[in-house]
């Protein structure tokens, strides 16, 4: 019996399967291709150059750059798109600049309640957490749900408990306290509004569906105390796409409101057959329009390019409904598009040659 085991073990060691790495996500795929890439966003909204100081602008650019670099380095070394997405999003979650993780906005009860999701375009597996309060990096919580549970979405205390059991980094809720966010929350709460983090009503027109969400714009978005949801789409050397999104949701949200970010198909979607997508914007619209999946479906069923599909949804469909927001998307060949119907969106990408592009305003091309 022992001899048989030895023969089997030796045989397996010398088999091509073993040499190519059984169980190694990255290497168990087809032969490497070179057009890997990563694209990120840090939220869309009324981001105007006039109301942004050069120093703050630089801080955003530096952080976006750091996030891209952390994901790019993984891809360049032959790592997976899933690892790259988590790494890039963690950088933004750890920064108070964005409405995710450390910088998450306050809900009506004075807590920070965070949502995140991730999807693997190779396996079409997905994971999400909603309404979590203690997971330092909710994107890791989402990944753990995908990889370590039989479910797709866990919520509230149960999700926090699961993350702890999985050995993820847990923080005291105090960790998520941010002075600027607290002030922003109290000003919004005083008026009993529920406010999109990235949205001030500068349009002058009110969509009837929106009444409960619109403010009077008295707290301008661009003063530095408004930040956005974060997201990432990556394509690795093996042709696999992954997408993830993480957010604190809307300031002063009540009743454990959950937005689009943790909902697969609404805020996040990835499928090697079509594209990877991460959204930012008025979550209720993104849920109703199943935005991320809609982009993929237009590619799959109508054979639109990733750019055409994303434009159709953001610039036509959502715009016609008065819905603010944007998305980042990449197809399996590495074509990237980043449409938004707001004045700005924190965004950037790095392609396989290592060249990075970062933009904030609509005029950044």
The set of residues, in sequence order, having a beta carbon less than 8 Å from that of 13 and lying 6+ positions away, is: none
Can you tell me which residue has the tokens 């619209």?
A: 285
Kindly state whether residue 229 participates in binding ligand ASP, applying the rule CB under 6 A.
yes
- Region 238-277 residues binding ligand ASP, contact defined as CB under 6 A: 247, 249-250, 259-261
Residues numbered 75 to 134 that lie near ligand ASP (CB under 6 A) are 99
Shortest reach from residue 233's CB to ligand ASP, in Å: 15
Q: Taking phi first (over 0 means left), then psi (-120 to 50 degrees means alpha), and beta for anything else, what does residue 5 get?
A: alpha
Binding flag, residue 71, ligand ASP (CB under 6 A): no
Q: How many residues bind ligand ASP (CB under 6 A)?
A: 15
43 binds ligand ASP (CB under 6 A): yes
Residue 6 among the catalytic residues: no
Dist CA 279 CA 317 (whole Å): 15
How far is it, in rounded angstroms, from Cα 342 to Cα 281?
9
Instruction: Count CB neighbours of 140 within 10 A.
Output: 24
Among residues 121, 131, 228, 334, the one that binds ligand ASP under rule CB under 6 A:
228
Q: Token pair of 305, please?
A: 């390019």
Smallest distance, Å, CB 5 to ligand ASP?
54
What does the DSSP 8-state code read for residue 137?
-
Nearest to 347 by CA among 134, 47, 143, 2: 47
Q: Is residue 225 within the footprint of ligand ASP (CB under 6 A)?
A: no
Asked whether position 324 contacts ligand ASP by CB under 6 A, the answer is no
Measured between alpha carbons, how far apart are the two ends of the chain, in Å? 67
- d(CA 71, CA 65) in angstroms, rounded, equals 10
Nearer to ligand ASP, 74 or 264 (CB): 264
Q: Hunting for tokens 């906005």 — which residue is that? A: 105
Nearer to ligand ASP, 281 or 334 (CB): 281
Q: Which two tokens stand for residue 138?
A: 């909710």
Q: Does 198 bind ligand ASP (CB under 6 A)?
A: yes
Find the binding residues for ligand ASP in span 277-296 (CB under 6 A): 280-281, 283
Number of H helices and E strands in the chain, helices first, is 11, 12
Q: Which is nearer to ligand ASP, 237 or 282 (CB)?
A: 282
In the complex with ligand ASP, the residue whose CB is nearer, 284 or 331, is: 284
Q: Which entry of 222, 229, 274, 337 is annotated as an active-site residue? A: 229
Kindly state the smallest distance separating residue 205's Cβ from ligand ASP, in Å.
20
Nearer to ligand ASP, 122 or 198 (CB): 198
Phi-psi region of 71 (alpha: psi -120 to 50; beta: other; left: phi over 0): alpha
Contacting positions for ligand ASP (CB under 6 A): 43, 99, 197-198, 228-229, 247, 249-250, 259-261, 280-281, 283
Residues that are catalytic: 229
């Amino acid at each position: 019996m022992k001899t048989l085991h030895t023969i089997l073990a030796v045989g397996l060691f010398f088999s091509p399967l073993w040499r190519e790495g059984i169980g190694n996500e990255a290497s168990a795929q087809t032969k490497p291709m070179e057009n890997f890439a990563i694209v990120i966003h840090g939220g869309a909204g009324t981001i105007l150059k006039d109301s942004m100081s050069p120093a703050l602008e630089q801080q955003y650019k530096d952080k976006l750059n750091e996030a891209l670099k952390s994901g790019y380095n993984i891809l360049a070394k032959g790592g997976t798109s899933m690892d790259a997405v988590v790494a890039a999003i963690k950088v933004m979650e750890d920064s108070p600049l964005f409405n995710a993780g450390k910088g998450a906005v306050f809900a009506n009860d004075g807590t920070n309640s965070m949502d995140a999701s991730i999807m693997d375009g190779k396996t079409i597996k997905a994971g999400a957490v909603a309404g979590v309060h203690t997971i330092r990096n909710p994107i890791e919580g989402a990944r753990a749900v995908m990889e370590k549970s039989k479910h797709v979405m866990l919520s509230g205390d149960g999700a926090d408990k699961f993350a702890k059991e999985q050995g993820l980094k847990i923080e005291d809720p105090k960790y998520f306290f941010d002075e600027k966010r607290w002030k922003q929350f109290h000003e919004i709460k005083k008026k009993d509004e529920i406010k999109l983090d990235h949205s001030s009503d500068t349009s002058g027109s009110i969509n009837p569906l929106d009444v409960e969400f619109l403010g009077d714009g008295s707290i301008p978005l661009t003063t530095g105390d408004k930040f956005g949801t974060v997201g990432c789409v990556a394509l690795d050397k093996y042709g696999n796409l992954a997408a993830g999104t993480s957010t604190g949701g809307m300031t002063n949200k009540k009743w454990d409101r959950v937005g689009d970010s943790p909902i697969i198909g609404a805020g996040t979607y990835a499928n090697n057959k079509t594209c990877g997508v991460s959204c930012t914007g008025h979550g209720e619209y993104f849920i109703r329009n199943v935005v991320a999946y809609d982009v993929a479906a237009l590619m799959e069923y109508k054979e639109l390019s990733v750019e055409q599909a994303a434009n159709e949804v953001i610039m036509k469909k959502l715009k016609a409904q008065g819905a603010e927001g944007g998305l980042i998307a990449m197809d399996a060949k590495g074509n990237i598009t980043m449409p938004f119907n707001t004045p700005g969106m924190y965004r950037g990408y790095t392609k396989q040659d290592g060249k990075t592009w970062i933009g904030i305003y609509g005029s950044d091309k």
